[in-house]
Amino acid sequence: MNLSFKKISVFLAFAYLVLGIYLSINTGISHDEFHEQQNWTYNVQAVKDFLSTGQYDSFLSFKDRYHGIGFHYISQPIQFLFSDLVGKSYQLSEYGGLLISKHIAVFLIFFTSGIFLFKIFKVVSDDDNFAIISTGIYFLFPYLFGHSLFNPKDIPFLSVWVICTYYIIILIQNFKTNNYISLKLLLILSSLTAFLISIRTLGLLIFLQYLIFLIVFSEIYKQDLLKLIKKQRKNLLIFTSSTLFLIYIVNPIFWHNPLEIINSIAWMGKYQQDVCTTTLGKCMKALDLPASYYFIWFFFKLPIIVLFGLALYPFCESKLSKNKFANFIIISLLITSISVLAIFIIFNVAIYDELRHVMFLIPLIFIISLSCIYLYNKKIFLIFGIITSIFFVAENVSINPYQYTWMNSFAKFYNINKNFEVDYWGISNKSLSNQIIKDYKTKEFKKSNCIYGGQYSDVFLQNFDFKCFKSYSELDSAKDRPYYVIKNVRNIKRSNPKDCELVKNETFNYLFDLRSISAGSLWYCN
């Protein structure tokens, strides 16, 4: 690779890191972040109770006791360091500073995943240019970039899955080359696997990916799988025992009974039964999803270049066969992706909010697809890769801070507001809260009066002495006017509040689409 191109790439990566951190602390706060912080608080108290009394009965009655806290082990120190600075700089409540500062940790782990994805692309192609452009597409993909600015669960899980994937690839590559498994790499993979599962119980599926890698490796390299397992039984025992031990240590819910992991799987597999996600105009319920749900959302969320690469797969198989190890990686990831989706469909796993619960498959699909384009024709990859990167930069600018709602150009043939879930995270609360600060002085609004739909906006308004924050559902019983109404998240699809004035309609536009996408609205009811 040209040295100047390498230097430019390093500079752009650093600029991306700085810009990402800046944007992350300038975005809104999703409703999930309150629940995630509460989950950490309950777990900390449970640890204290368990160490002092040997039990934690109140924790066992906590609804979200099976929600993993793994990422908090990284995010909490960062929140501790930056919460005061962030809170004071942006006039947030103390709690708001704590929540927003977590965004730094979320973006940092996403950036780290990109470094490891670059390494995987390098293993596949041994081409720095291909790896850099592919990683650039990943970093700039508005959907993932938008989530990386705040999403405290799905982005850390996705990122650690990518890192685990890299280490299983390297472990097998070293074994293929040296006929030896490094104990150091094995323990690193063990630690990362336990960490992944501590973020979300769904991480147990990584064992399926490991098994698929072993099976595909044995088939491609003509090794007897049973003999291979028998020969490596000592290493497998070390990996299994250390992983199980670490899973137990980092999940306080398992301390009183390790078999709670079974309850965790059952609970999380059917979580949020009554939630539905608007998909092609139909509200599809989390526990009654047609198989088409996944494919509809992947079709409209994945970049067109990635869909193109997947369509090319049958035409690049012959070229893949010439590079055994690249073929091994791509086939393994393809089978993994198909298997995970099959498990979700067969067992009717509860998912909602479009692709957030299977978002971790997207980097795997990127590897498969972009590698196929590159192997099929390097010039085609270079042209489409650069065009896609430029388009993504422009799209990110156009729809900031709502990149996480991004849909590809095929979706633009539909009425997106009507046919798809849009701002289910409620990030528009920051902009709408700022509008209240600008607007209330011109109206007869006392700061002791209520703001409905603003229970997640209080962090932006408490420092300005607003006192009353109630949920949107409490609006039906509202009597004392005047009051403000923040209408966002799923409330956006409900009827407008009666006899109220529209103060602000928070909208954005995709590139080359004049139709406005509504992310929320603010109403004044006098």
**What is the chain's mean pLDDT, rounded?**
94
Of 347, 377, 409, which residue is a domain's last?
Answer: 409
The answer to whether residue 423 is domain-embedded is no
CA distances to 108, 309, 375, 408 from 386, in Å: 25, 15, 17, 17
pLDDT of the residue at 11 = 94
pLDDT of the residue at 424 = 83
pLDDT of the residue at 157 = 98
Instruction: Give which of 263, 284, 259 is closest to 274, Cα–Cα.
Output: 284
The answer to whether residue 115 is domain-embedded is yes
368 CB neighbour count, 10 Å cutoff: 22
Is the same domain home to 341 and 470?
A: no
Q: Which two tokens mark 307? A: 């869909």
481 — pLDDT class (breaks 50, 70, 90) = very high
pLDDT of the residue at 500 = 95
492 — pLDDT class (breaks 50, 70, 90) = confident
275 pLDDT more than 90: no
Instruction: Give which of 173, 162, 100, 98 is closest to 135, Cα–Cα.
Output: 162
342 pLDDT more than 60: yes
Distance between CA atoms of 205 and 462, rounded to whole angstroms? Answer: 42
In tens, the pLDDT along 505-514 reads 999 999 888 8
Asked whether 524 and 487 are in contact (CB, 8 A), the reply is no
Asked whether 439 and 328 are in contact (CB, 8 A), the reply is no
Distance between CA atoms of 78 and 101, rounded to whole angstroms? Answer: 7
Instruction: Give the residue numbers spanning the domain of 138.
Output: 3-51+63-409
pLDDT of the residue at 412 = 87
Is the same domain home to 324 and 473?
A: no
Is the same domain home to 451 and 404?
A: no
Radius of gyration of the chain (CA): 24
What is the number of domains present in the chain? 2
Is the same domain home to 395 and 476?
A: no
Asked whether 40 and 76 are in contact (CB, 8 A), the reply is yes
pLDDT of the residue at 323 = 86
490 — pLDDT class (breaks 50, 70, 90) = confident
pLDDT of the residue at 245 = 97
Instruction: Give which of 403, 392, 430 is closest to 148, Cα–Cα.
Output: 403
Average pLDDT value for residue range 359-377: 97
Amino acid at 279: T
Average pLDDT value for residue range 196-225: 96
Average pLDDT value for residue range 180-204: 96
Strands (E) across 221-375 are located at 276-279, 282-285
Asked whether 173 and 189 are in contact (CB, 8 A), the reply is no
Is the same domain home to 371 and 494?
A: no
Amino acid at 437: I
Least confident piece of the model among 135-149, 182-196, 452-466: 452-466
Is the same domain home to 355 and 440?
A: no
Q: Which two tokens mark 318? A: 């012959």
The answer to whether residue 121 is domain-embedded is yes
Whose structure tokens read 């596949």? 124
Average pLDDT value for residue range 142-147: 98
SS3 504: strand
Is the same domain home to 195 and 226?
A: yes
Is the same domain home to 351 and 390?
A: yes
Is the same domain home to 329 and 440?
A: no
Beta strands 517-525 and 483-487, pairing class:
antiparallel
1 pLDDT more than 80: no
Q: Which two tokens mark 313? A: 């797969």
Asked whether 345 and 238 are in contact (CB, 8 A), the reply is no
Q: Which two tokens mark 490? A: 């799923």
Average pLDDT value for residue range 348-371: 96
214 pLDDT more than 90: yes
Q: Which residues pair with 522 in a beta bridge?
A: 486, 504
In tens, the pLDDT along 71-115 reads 999 999 999 999 999 999 999 999 999 999 999 999 999 999 999
Average pLDDT value for residue range 322-329: 92
Of 355, 381, 409, which residue is a domain's last?
Answer: 409
Is the same domain home to 461 and 376?
A: no
3 pLDDT more than 80: no
The answer to whether residue 416 is domain-embedded is no
